Every structure is written in C-alpha cells, then in structure tokens.
Amino acid sequence: SDEEMKRRIRIIKQKLGDQLYILGHHYQKDEVYKFADAVGDSLQLSQMAAANKKAAYIVFCGVHFMAETADILTTSNQRVVLPDMRAGCSMADMANIEQTEKAWPILQSLFGDTIIPLTYVNSTAEIKAFVGKHHGATVTSSNAKEVVQWAFSKKQRILFLPDQHLGRNTAYELGVPLSEMAIWDPIENELVFDGDIEDVKIILWKGHCSVHENFTLKNIEHVRKEHPNMNIIVHPECTHDVVQHSDYAGSTKYIMETIEQAPSGSEWAIGTEMNLVNRLIHAHDDKKVISLNPYMCPCLTMNRIDLPHLLWSLEMIDKGTPINEIKVESEVAELAQKALNNMLAMV
C-alpha cells in the first residue's frame, strides 16, 4: 500500500541520513515531492546539487537532463540516481548531437564566425558539450534574458537550442523583431527564413515543450470572457502568441513568487505544468487559482517518478546495489561543464 511504501521510504531516509540527498523538481507528483530534502526549479536544483559535498547518493526526482546536469556539477565520488529511466523530456529529445553537428557547418557557411550557440538546460549533456566547445552557455527560463544579452555582447547572432519558444520570447523581449528570427529545421536540415539572410539575429532550433504548447489563444479568450478579473500568467515555453496575450510570463520560480505575493482575493489562470498548478491552487485558498487550460497539462515524463520508483531506488541504494545511475562520460562532462559554468558565472 501507499502507506507501507511511505513508511519504508521514511526508514531508509532516516538510516542513510546525510549520505542521501533527495532533490525534487516543482513539477513532481506530491507523493514524491514531499520526500525531497530540497525542492526547486531546474536552476536551483543544479545549484543545490553542486553545493552538496556530503551525500554519497543524490536521488534526482525530475527528468533525465536534470540528473545529467547534477552528475556534471557534483564531485566524481557522488552518484546520481534517476528513480525511473523513462523520465526523459520530449523537448530535450528534439535536438540530438548528430543533427547539431550537421547543422553547424551549414550555419557557418551561411554566417561565418558570427554565431554563438546557447542551449536551454532542457537538453542532453552532448548538446551542452557542443555548446561548451563553441564557447556558448546554457540558459534556464529564469536567466534567459541575461544569458541572451551576454551572447549578443560576444557575437552578432545566436543559435538557440532546443526550445524555439523560449528563444523567440526572450529575444523579442530584448527588442529583436520576429522578422530577424530564423528557424533551424533539424528534420529537413535547413534554415527557414524569408528575407535578407544578413538580417538574421537569432536562429531558433525547431523544438518545443509538448506540455506548454497545450496552452492556446482559445484558452485565453475563454478565460477573458468567463473571468474578466483574472490575471493570466504563463511559462515562456508557451508560444509567442500566448505569451503576448497573457498579463505576465516567466519561469517556474517567477510564477510561484508572483502567486505567493499576490493579494488575497486576486484571480489567476496559470499556464504551466499540472502538478505545480495543483500545488498552487491548494497553497493559496485565499486566491482564486485555476489552470489556463481547463483539462490541465501534466508532464507525463515528470510523472514517471512515483512512490514505487522512489522506494525502489532507495532500497537498492540501501542494499549497496544502486540502479539507474546517471553517469556522463568525462569528455562530454568537461565540455558541458564549461557551458554550465558560463551560465552560473552570470547568476
């Protein structure tokens, strides 16, 4: 039963003490989230993993790219465990290293040495290593503006992987018009741009988040009609139209802080992952909080981590036979760390 699983998790946690560090992303199921020693968005979790020097095992309740980042940033004797290997990220899967290695020489032939690559942390370690090798940086939704500004101070153009929406929304906020944004289509292996190619300022990799793309202009029209006093707040992984028609847009951390600081009685429709929206609905019963999409939008891969998988991973650690260890190859880790460090130096 759930109660029995919870009891066994508590016992192992107590037994292992600070040898064990459980990290939980804000999109995790409550049943898992409440066992985390620390919770956060993807940037905070990578910083907390890097700061922990005691734990022999870091159990990462999040998705694969986050566990890889934790492995890259922790010391070599710390082991990172992902309770279910199926907890991937469909966005990270939209840019693989073979596609990127094919795209780069074509972009170089079009633009010469005027491009710097940036990658959202929602990407594989290999993509981060590619970016590190070419002197770029990683980005999270909470620091995208600063990192994009930094990149423009280095080069005339940016290749932004793998989320076109975060790239477009951020560049637009910094004053780059849509007419100066091109798309890189990794399936066709070609640049999509109407206009004079000299005008291109940012090349957006054609990837997206299958969760945040579910918030639509129709959802916004519906909320505006049915709840005229409602504020609409969305994550920048939503499409440009949705971000433009919302009242506020920002990272997971920004959304949480905005709802926390909002006055009692205020009304909020939120465009982000279901577990977080549900948690905000319950934590703020003095405010009216709903999901912008009435069907709610779960991240199916985040939800792979559940009580049975958490317990299983802890029991295997306790037995001395850990499973699902995430280990990034040292050459890849070294270059990926460069890209991460370039970002961490800015935040």
Query: Which spans in 112-239 are helix H?
Result: 125-133, 144-154, 164-173, 217-226
Give the residue with the Cβ less far from ligand 13P, 55 or 297.
297
Residue 342 is labelled as binding a ligand? no
Query: Which spans in the chain are helix H?
Result: 2-16, 30-33, 42-51, 64-73, 97-111, 125-133, 144-154, 164-173, 217-226, 240-245, 252-261, 274-283, 307-318, 330-344
Give the residue with the Cβ less far from ligand 13P, 82 or 314.
82
Among 239, 246, 252, 324, binds ligand 13P (CB under 6 A): 252
**Token couple for 128:** 């981060």
Q: According to the binding rule CB under 6 A, does residue 209 interact with ligand 13P?
A: yes
Residue 96, binding choice from ligand 13P, ligand SF4, none, Cβ under 5 to 8 Å by partner class = none
Q: According to the binding rule CB under 6 A, does residue 122 interact with ligand 13P?
A: yes
Q: According to the binding rule CB under 6 A, does residue 239 interact with ligand 13P?
A: no
Burial classification of residue 137, based on how many CB atoms lie within 10 Å of its CB (0-12 exposed, 13-18 middle, 19 or more buried)? buried
Q: What CA–CA distance (Å, rounded) separates 42 from 62?
A: 9
Least Cβ distance, residue 123 to ligand SF4 (angstroms) = 10
Among 143, 301, 337, 342, binds ligand SF4 (CB under 6 A): 301
Q: According to the binding rule CB under 6 A, does residue 141 interact with ligand 13P?
A: yes
* Stretch 277-306 residues interacting with ligand 13P (CB under 6 A): none
Burial classification of residue 181, based on how many CB atoms lie within 10 Å of its CB (0-12 exposed, 13-18 middle, 19 or more buried)? buried
Q: What CA–CA distance (Å, rounded) separates 209 from 227?
A: 27
> How many residues sit close enough to ligand 13P to count as binding (CB under 6 A)?
9
Among 124, 273, 280, 293, binds ligand SF4 (CB under 6 A): 273
Binding site per annotation, positions for iminosuccinate: 25, 42, 120-122, 141, 235-237, 252
| Residues engaged in binding ligand SF4 (CB under 6 A) | 63, 89-91, 122, 209-211, 273, 299, 301-302
